[in-house]
């Protein structure tokens, strides 16, 4: 008969085992155990309480778990210690995964830093975050739950200030949307992130308007962002986490996804991510890397969604004249409902003479645009070949070193993708007093595509 196996040694109580450690070894073990275990160890003995209460240890926990580098509460108020700070943050956000809390906190911190440096007028429109009770109240009013990342976004910042009863104030606020927009002809778009109370009100109104048609039955959509000029509406599906933009045919249920579906994980246990969070993070990346920038419109600045960097923005230099060009997809434009015009694109052309206009070895103090030639392609087929004088009724005169002359226009396509290329004819000097022969300036082909992210 086989001998019984020897008894297995029992692991010592965690507190008892740690009591034998000294100095750096003890500090290292507690640090690796994490904040929750450190708090539990503080109850084991007086010695462990002292070790687990060391504020240098909690400084590390705050940095690792929350990316918090000063003992501040969620509203930025100073606290006596990092341990107190960790406790307050846990009380406020302990119902969420801390990696997600850190991620959302960093998003808002980075966006506010960018706005502070580049667009302080818009920074002033951001509202203080809402409470968990306010989130719950909004969910009760809507009749369904919000995705976890969206709830956290609004815990940190309650979107932007809503429309005011005062017309003058609304005129001032209209171009300050943190998402931004574009302008061509009389089509003005500028998208604001809606505050929670506006989300509830506009979502209820949306369902009252469209429920009779049966288009949006059985969907848990909320309106999270809108344009203050021409209508443009962004809707979050709280069931699957996707963010959509309404087309001109929104009343018939036509919406387009704004974020790659493969990235959406609204129920991920560790770090869930929905369309709204991914959309905002991508927008921030474009602001930070200079893909999109602020631009002056009349007397106000706004965030222009026309790309400013390659490959979406192309650039060509001919005889000292520089032409930059890019486009944005505009699904809300009324022309998109016409047959053969499913995709509407706005495009922006920037003309300048950075140093000097030079033709045949001769420098000229100025040059003036006379005509344009556009070739617009859909896939491999030319769908438009246009020649005409001027641009939007203007004949810009360019001189070295002056700011870019910028103009916007639009073109429809039956579908995507497509492209635009062409040239401008310039005259050295002025049209009224030419100083040489006309010359062609190239416009490098720029894409007309259905983007992965729609803003």
Per-residue pLDDT tens for 425-448? 999 999 999 999 999 999 999 999
Q: How many domains does the chain have?
A: 3
Helix H or strand E encompassing 280: helix 275-288
Same domain, 233 and 284: yes
Same domain, 269 and 313: no
Same domain, 87 and 109: no
Predicted pLDDT of residue 34: 73
Same domain, 194 and 137: yes
pLDDT band at 214 (very low <50, low <70, confident <90, very high): low
Could you tell me if residue 232 is inside a domain? yes
Place of tokens 């009770």: 133
Predicted pLDDT of residue 1: 47
Could you tell me if residue 18 is inside a domain? no
Domain boundary among 79, 94, 109: 94
Place of tokens 């005011």: 164
Could you tell me if residue 403 is inside a domain? yes
- Residue 100 DSSP label: H
Same domain, 174 and 321: no
Same domain, 341 and 227: no
Domain boundary among 94, 124, 153: 94
Same domain, 87 and 150: no
Place of tokens 């990342």: 149
CA atoms within 13 A on the CB side of 230: 18
Could you tell me if residue 195 is inside a domain? yes
Same domain, 131 and 274: yes
Token pair of 154, please? 């609004």
Could you tell me if residue 300 is inside a domain? no
Could you give the CA distance from residue 341 to residue 249 in angstroms, rounded to a whole number?
Answer: 13
Domain that holds residue 342: 307-448
Inform me whether the pLDDT recorded for 373 exceeds 80.
yes
Same domain, 151 and 242: yes
State residue 374 phi and psi, 5-degree precision.
-115, 135
pLDDT in tens, 304-351: 999 999 999 999 999 999 999 999 999 999 988 787 778 999 999 999
Q: Is the dihedral of CA 385, 388, 391, 396 positive or negative?
A: positive
Domain with residue 285: its CATH number is 3.40.1580.10
Domain with residue 389: its CATH number is 2.60.40.1470
pTM of the model: 0.90
CB 386 within 8 A of CB 281: no
Could you tell me if residue 168 is inside a domain? yes
pLDDT band at 48 (very low <50, low <70, confident <90, very high): low
Same domain, 263 and 337: no
Domain boundary among 259, 289, 319: 289
Could you tell me if residue 282 is inside a domain? yes
Same domain, 262 and 376: no
Same domain, 346 and 385: yes
């Amino acid at each position: 008969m086989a001998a019984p196996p020897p008894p297995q040694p029992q692991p010592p109580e965690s507190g008892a085992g740690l009591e034998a450690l000294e100095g750096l070894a003890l500090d290292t073990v507690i640090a690796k155990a994490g904040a929750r275990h450190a708090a539990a160890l503080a109850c084991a003995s007086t010695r462990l309480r002292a070790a687990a209460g060391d504020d240098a240890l909690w400084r590390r926990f705050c940095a690792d778990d929350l990316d918090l580098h000063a003992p501040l509460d969620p509203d930025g108020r100073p606290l006596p210690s990092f341990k107190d700070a960790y406790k307050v943050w846990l009380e406020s956000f302990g119902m969420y995964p801390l990696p997600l809390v850190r991620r959302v906190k960093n998003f808002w911190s980075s966006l506010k830093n960018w706005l502070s440096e580049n667009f302080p007028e818009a920074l002033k429109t951001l509202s203080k975050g809402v409470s968990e009770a306010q989130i719950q109240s909004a969910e009760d009013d809507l009749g369904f739950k919000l995705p976890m990342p969206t709830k956290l976004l609004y815990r940190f910042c309650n979107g932007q200030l809503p429309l005011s009863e005062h017309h003058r104030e609304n005129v001032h606020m209209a171009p300050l949307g943190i998402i931004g927009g574009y302008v061509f002809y009389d089509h003005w778009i500028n998208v604001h992130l809606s505050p929670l109370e506006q989300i509830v009100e506009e979502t209820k109104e949306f369902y009252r308007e469209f429920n009779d048609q049966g288009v949006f039955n059985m969907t848990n959509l909320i309106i999270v962002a809108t344009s203050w000029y021409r209508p443009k509406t962004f809707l979050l599906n709280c069931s699957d986490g996707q963010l959509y933009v309404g087309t001109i045919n929104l009343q018939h249920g036509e919406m387009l996804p704004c974020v790659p579906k493969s990235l959406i994980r609204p129920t991920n246990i560790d770090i869930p991510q929905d369309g709204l969070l991914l959309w905002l993070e991508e927008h921030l990346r474009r602001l930070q890397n200079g893909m999109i920038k602020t631009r002056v419109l009349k007397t106000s600045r706004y965030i222009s969604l026309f790309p400013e960097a390659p490959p979406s923005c192309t650039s060509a230099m001919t005889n000292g004249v520089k032409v930059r060009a890019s486009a944005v997809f505009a699904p809300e434009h009324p022309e998109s409902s016409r047959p053969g015009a499913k995709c509407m694109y706005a495009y922006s052309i920037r003309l300048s003479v950075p140093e000097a206009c030079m033709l045949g070895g001769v420098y000229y103090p100025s040059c003036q645009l006379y005509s344009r030639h556009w070739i617009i392609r859909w896939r491999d087929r030319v769908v438009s070949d246009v020649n005409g004088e001027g641009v939007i009724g203007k004949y810009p005169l360019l001189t070295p070193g002056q700011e870019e002359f910028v103009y916007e226009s639009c073109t429809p396509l039956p579908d995507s993708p497509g492209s635009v290329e062409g040239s401008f004819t310039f005259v050295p000097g002025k049209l009224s007093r030419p100083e040489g022969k006309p010359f062609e300036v190239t416009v490098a082909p720029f894409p007309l595509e259905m983007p992965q992210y729609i803003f």
